[in-house]
Amino acid sequence: MSKPTLQNNLKIKRHEDNIKFLQTEIKRLSQSILNVQVSLANHHSGNGNGATDENGATRMEEEETEQIMRHERSAAALLCKLKPMKSHHATQALNLTLTQDVLGIVGVVASLGRVDSDDLSRILSEYLGLETMLAIVCRTFECVKVLEKYDKDGMIISSAGIHGLGSSIKNSIKGRFQVLCLEDLRPYVGGFVADNPQRKLALPKPQFPNGECPHGFLDYAVNMINLDKRNLLSLTTAGHGLRETLFYSLFSRLQVYKTRREMLLALPCINDGALSLDGGMIKPSGVFALGSRKNIEVKFLAASGESSMLANYIETEELLKKLKLERTYVTEDMQREQELLDLAKKDLSMIL
């Protein structure tokens, strides 16, 4: 056998082997895609008795609303009460409907995130405090300005803005309330965790001088908030989402540990405060919160059962997209290999 013929035979064999490998990869990816699609179908079918993820989401919203509505004279409670009402109430008071699309109200802090356990929910909510948990979150300063109007002496006009709305539905607001404006918050500057559907912030883990991460460190609080699909979308004109604006502003680089003992051992690595699931709390600038836990009136909801399925749904969707894209790339590679194989066979036939 001549040298050119041998080279062509080896080339053909290599392309044939590559095609076999790529065909195996396509089969593997197709089976993985099918498995993920079945998982999504099971998610949609709920627990088998007709319950759906939409029903689970509705129950969670009802639970959120119930805990906020206990503070019936708060601005947060007023917004919760407004949701199911017709918009003419808001039009009457504001000449604008108090809706997310028109006014730019994102929601109440307590309703904008989920966490994975009740212990985490309690300690994060206690750290923020009731006033912040009930704070109204707006996209723009224009939204903030519409909420409250003043007369020439700087006094609140009770018939205008959110106060007028409260009066119109017999739910007047008592005392001060906090409003957070996303576009006025200094956003996180940095990268995100690669391929993470929750767009978690790529914050370096705390380290001792020897390079070791403290034992018991779970994550940064800002990354332990789970956002639903709606809240993962960019909310500001600059394209920043809730995690890198609202929650980074509230928590900064607050660390979370499993136990108080592990948290205290990690003190040399703590700069912006720390919490532990068993109730430990260190605030920034070295302020230690001692004593027993407070009774938490409003807290982030802890995902469990159907609600945890809802929280994982986005991740499963992203995995499906990734698998399909990978299969597309492998299929294109196989087509190229087939073209090269056909060309090698043609060259060989010409030699023979």
**Is the separation of the CB atoms in 205 and 97 below 8 Å?**
no
Give the whole-angstrom CA distance, residue 201 versus residue 225.
11
Regarding whether 10 and 105 lie in a shared domain, the answer is no
Strands annotated E in the chain: 105-108, 114-115, 136-138, 179-181, 217-220, 255-257, 274-276, 281-283, 287-289, 301-302
pLDDT tier for residue 48 given thresholds of 50, 70 and 90: very low
**Averaged pLDDT, 168-187:** 84
Both tokens assigned to 153: 């002496």
Regarding whether 321 and 256 lie in a shared domain, the answer is no
pLDDT at 166 over 70: yes
Q: What is the mean pLDDT of the chain?
A: 80
Q: What's the CATH code of the domain at 205?
A: 3.30.70.1620
- In this structure, is residue 188 part of a structural domain? yes
Residue range of the domain that includes 43: 3-48+311-351
Give the predicted TM-score (pTM) of the model.
0.66
pLDDT above 70 coverage of the chain, percent? 80
**Averaged pLDDT, 186-211:** 90
pLDDT at 87 over 50: no
DSSP designation for 274: E
Regarding whether 320 and 289 lie in a shared domain, the answer is no
Regarding whether 143 and 272 lie in a shared domain, the answer is yes
Helix, strand, or coil here: 197?
coil
pLDDT tens for each residue of 302-318: 765 444 454 566 677 77
Q: Which of 101-105, 180-184, 250-254 has the lowest mean pLDDT?
A: 101-105
Which residue in 75, 246, 77, 73 sits closest to 147, CA to CA?
75
Regarding whether 270 and 155 lie in a shared domain, the answer is yes
pLDDT at 263 over 90: yes
Domain boundary among 256, 271, 297: 297
pLDDT at 96 (0 to 100) = 45
pLDDT at 317 (0 to 100) = 75
Number of independent structural domains in the chain: 2
- In this structure, is residue 53 part of a structural domain? no
Regarding whether 254 and 112 lie in a shared domain, the answer is yes
Regarding whether 109 and 9 lie in a shared domain, the answer is no
pLDDT at 282 over 60: yes
Regarding whether 278 and 191 lie in a shared domain, the answer is yes
Both tokens assigned to 85: 């009402």
pLDDT at 195 (0 to 100) = 79
Give the whole-angstrom CA distance, residue 109 versus residue 133.
5
Which residue in 11, 15, 29 sits closest to 330, CA to CA?
29
Cβ-proximal residues to 57 (8 Å cutoff; 6+ apart), any chain:
228, 307, 310
Regarding whether 315 and 345 lie in a shared domain, the answer is yes
Regarding whether 237 and 283 lie in a shared domain, the answer is yes
pLDDT tens for each residue of 13-41: 888 998 999 999 999 999 888 888 877 77
Cβ-proximal residues to 97 (8 Å cutoff; 6+ apart), any chain:
87, 90, 91, 103
pLDDT at 2 (0 to 100) = 62
Helix, strand, or coil here: 226?
strand
- In this structure, is residue 55 part of a structural domain? no
Cβ-proximal residues to 46 (8 Å cutoff; 6+ apart), any chain:
52, 53, 55, 56, 306
Regarding whether 237 and 98 lie in a shared domain, the answer is yes
**Averaged pLDDT, 221-239:** 84
- In this structure, is residue 201 part of a structural domain? yes
* Terminal Cα distance for the chain, rounded: 11
pLDDT at 269 (0 to 100) = 93
- In this structure, is residue 171 part of a structural domain? yes
pLDDT at 43 (0 to 100) = 60
- In this structure, is residue 316 part of a structural domain? yes
pLDDT at 350 over 80: no
- In this structure, is residue 302 part of a structural domain? no
pLDDT at 219 (0 to 100) = 94
pLDDT at 255 (0 to 100) = 96
Regarding whether 346 and 226 lie in a shared domain, the answer is no
Helix (H) or strand (E) holding 123: helix 118-128
pLDDT at 184 over 80: yes
Instruction: Note the helical H segments in the chain.
Output: 3-45, 53-69, 75-82, 88-94, 100-103, 118-128, 130-133, 141-147, 161-168, 229-232, 248-251, 260-265, 306-351
- In this structure, is residue 64 part of a structural domain? no
pLDDT at 63 over 60: yes
